[in-house]
Each structure stands twice: as C-alpha cells, then as structure tokens.
Amino acid sequence: MIKIALALFLIWQLAVILYQFWEPFRKKLARLQFYLCGLLPAWQMFGPDPIDGDFLVFYRTAPENDATDPRYTEWELVDYDKKPMLAFSLFFNPRGNFVKALREICQETVKASSDRNVFYQLLLNDLIHRCRVRQSVTTDQTHQLSSTVRARLLQFQIRWQTPTAVTPIFSSHAHPY
Amino acid sequence: MHIPIDWQSAESCLQLVRWLLFLSLTISSLHNISNSSAFGQNGLLAWSLQKYAYQEKGLEWTFLDNLFGRTGFVLLNLLRLALLAAGFANVFLPLVLPALLLVSVVIYIRAFLPMSGADQLNTIVLTCLVPGSMVPSPAIHAISLCAIAGQVIFCYFSNGLLKTQAPGWWKGTHLKTLLLTGNYSRKGVAGLAAITGQPLFRALGSMIVIWELSAILAPFLPAALLWTYLGAGILFHLTIAVVMGLNTFFWSYVSTYPAILFSWHIVDHAVRSFI
C-alpha cells in the first residue's frame, strides 16, 4: 500500500512538472484540464508578463421606438469590483474571484466579437437584469404602473483601462430588453 | 515562544494542514454563497447560457440544470460547509475527506471561471490528504505531507522561474504596473505606487523572484533560515490578500506550510543519518 501511494504521488508530481515545462505534453492534455479541476496546474501567477490594466464595462440605454435613430443615455460604468473593507480583507472578499471571472468573460467577448458567443450573452444577460432592476426601482419611485414601462434598447461597451488611458475595445450591438 | 505543535509528528502536521485547508474551503464556500446571484438565471454566470460552453467540453447531462442552477449551487456549498464542520470536529474523516473532495470538484467545475490558483491548490492538498485519512498508517501520512510539500514547492519555484524570463520583474516595472491596476490594487496603494521611485520596485520585484525560486532549497535550509523563509511567505501572502484582494491564496498556501516543515525534518533526519 505504501509503495502504491508513493508511486502514485511521484507519477503525479512528474506529470505536474512535465505539464508545466513540456509544451507537447501540455497540448496533449489541455482538453482534460477542465475535468482535472486543478490537479494538473499550469502555474503562471502574474508571470512572465503581469496584468497591466483592467476591463471596464459600460452600458447605455435608449427607448426602443427610436431604433432607427436611438437617443442613448450617457455611458454608465458597472462597478463589478467592490473592494472589501481593509479589516475584513483577509477573511472575506467575495468579489476577488468574481473579478477574475469578469476578466475572462470580457477577454472572450472581445476575442469572439460575436453576439452568438456564450460570454457575450453572459455579459448581456447580466446587464439586462441590472437595467430591469434599475428601471423597476425608477418606476416605483415615480409611482408609475409597471405597464407604462416602455421597451428599451441596451448597448454595452468594454474598455481597457491602463494608468495612462482608457480605450474602448469593443462595442456590442443594440439589444432590446 | 512555545508552539504546541510537534513538527516532526506527521499526525500533528496533518491536523494543522487539515484545519487551515478547511478554513480556506470555508471562506471559499462563503464567497460562493455570497456571489450566488451571479449563478442565477439573470446573473453573469447563468447556467442557462454557460451550459453551452460546457457542452463544447462534453458536459451535456440534463441533471446538471438542477445541480448547477443557483439553488443547486448554494446547496452544494452548504453541503461542503456541513462536511467542513464535521472535518473541524475530526469526525468520520475517512468519509468526510473523500466526500469533501468530490463536492469541491463539482463546485470547481460549476464555478470554473471564477476559480483561481488558490482553488487549484486546495484541490491538490485535499487529494493528498484523502489516502492518509483512509489508511491509518504513519508512513502514508508522511508520504501525503511530502506530496503536499513537493507540489507547493514546485508551484513557487515554477512561478519564480517564469518571472525570471521577464526582465520587467527584475527591474520592478512589472510589479509597479500591477499595483497601478484597479482590479489588483487599492486606490491608496496605487497612488503610493505612482509616486514611489523605481529602485524600491526593483528591490521588491527581485526579492519576489528570488524568494519564489529559492523554494526549491527550502527542505535543505538550516532551521532558522527555513523559519525565516516561511515567515516571509506568510508576509508575502498577507500583503497579496490585503493589497490585491486575493485572500484565498493566503489560506491555501499557508495551509501547506506545516507539510514543508515536516518534509524539512524528514530531509534533515536523512542527511544526519547519512553523515
């Protein structure tokens, strides 16, 4: 039993080393990485090149009956990255992992540049929900009936922010919601 | 200072690894539950849409619609918290640890996008702990601890090696750039980084690379240096947690330190007996 355990751990360690450094081996097993849940990691934390900017997600809306010449609102930033209080940051920071997911979603959306892409749809889904929630709050505040809420168009934009500049890198189509 | 842990005892070290890992998994599950709205129908990680990306990877089972919806995801995390409670109480460990591994793997697959290197390391450590929980053999326990130490030492070393290829890490420019971002810094820190001179970043950047690379020497260091090395590691991860917001890394990586200490004793014993 001891020999079996020792052999398994050694083979696993060897596989991890090969996966990290040997490109053909990594390519061969890349498809399995999702299922291995990190058991064959490709360690590259902030190296060799670090993250040098942030994705910012903006959206704007317009009444749908203006579809030919939509009068959009100003672009609004969605604040996905709410920092935890310093005192709790060691124990509780749920947005930390969330930001990582958002970065991947933005990356894939920009790369695909198609509204049929899953990541594009995920971002759109979230933004539509945010707009609906916001719209219902506004409607409640003005004491209007929900039936008077008009259909609207939504467009989002992904921008890349570095310490020196903010550059729009992707604009979506206008989507009714 | 008296530390009530026998670093030469596999049992004692395993217990500490388990508790720190359980703490890491508890925090991870609390994060998941707190973010659960993102996993719902209208969220950024809605299963109704994300499942198409999973289908490309071959996951097409219909029962996943229930398991990976918001309710299923919350229930999975609550189940993990219940298993962790049993783990903290040291009850039914031969059942709890494999079950914990299984549930963690399912959670990992569902939350693949937000999962980080800390979650990968958690899975690795949990996998190393399972054989030791099922076979009450001191030798298996020792092998489990050495396996954990091997994995984390390799992780640090290979990260250091990657950074050596980028001159920016030696020059400190990469560290400065990282601290100027919004996602992986804080406003105050970014402001401070902007006005701080390059020599400090050069020193800090080089220190990080050297510290990560020298992990490979950890089992062979003199005891005092090893404690200094691990102390620097705790400080390193604490800074990353507070400044960069990557708090789960602190718990995952620190949970492996008792295994490094135990392995150091094994190497030390082997060297002494050889001499």
* Complex confidence, ipTM: 0.90
| Pairwise CA distance, residues A31 & B88, whole Å | 35
Structure token pair of residue A121 = 């749809």
Q: Which residues of B touch A34 (CB under 8 A)?
A: 57, 109, 112
Summarised one tens digit per residue, pLDDT across range A89-113 is 899 998 888 899 999 999 999 999 8
pLDDT band at B3 (very low <50, low <70, confident <90, very high): low
φ and ψ at residue A157, rounded to 5 degrees: -140, 140
Q: Is A51 left (phi over 0), alpha (psi -120 to 50) or beta?
A: beta
Of residues A149 and A71, the one with the higher pLDDT is A71
**CB contact set of B212 (below 8 Å; sequence gap of 6+):** B156, B157, B159, B160, B163
Tell me which residue in A2, A52, A125 faces B140 most closely, judged by beta carbons: A2
Structure token pair of residue B11 = 């049992």
B101 pLDDT higher than 50:
yes
Of residues B148 and A30, the one with the higher pLDDT is B148
Residue contact A16–B143, C-beta within 8 A: no
> Which site among A1, A4, A9 would you substitute to test the B interface, given the most B Cβ atoms closer than 10 Å to its Cβ?
A9
Does the pTM exceed 0.90? yes
B1 pLDDT higher than 60:
no
Residue A56 pairs in a beta bridge with A159
Summarised one tens digit per residue, pLDDT across range A133-160 is 887 776 666 555 444 456 789 999 999 9
- Helices then strands, counting H and E runs in chain B, come out as 14, 0
Q: Which residues of A touch B115 (CB under 8 A)?
A: 38, 97, 100
Q: Which residues of A touch B159 (CB under 8 A)?
A: 43-45, 47
Sorted by where each begins, the domain ranges of chain A are: 2-36, 54-176
DSSP E strand stretches across B83-178: none
Q: Which residues of A touch B133 (CB under 8 A)?
A: none
> Which site among B52, B124, B183, B251 would you substitute to test the A interface, given the most A Cβ atoms closer than 10 Å to its Cβ?
B183
Residue A58 pairs in a beta bridge with A77, A157
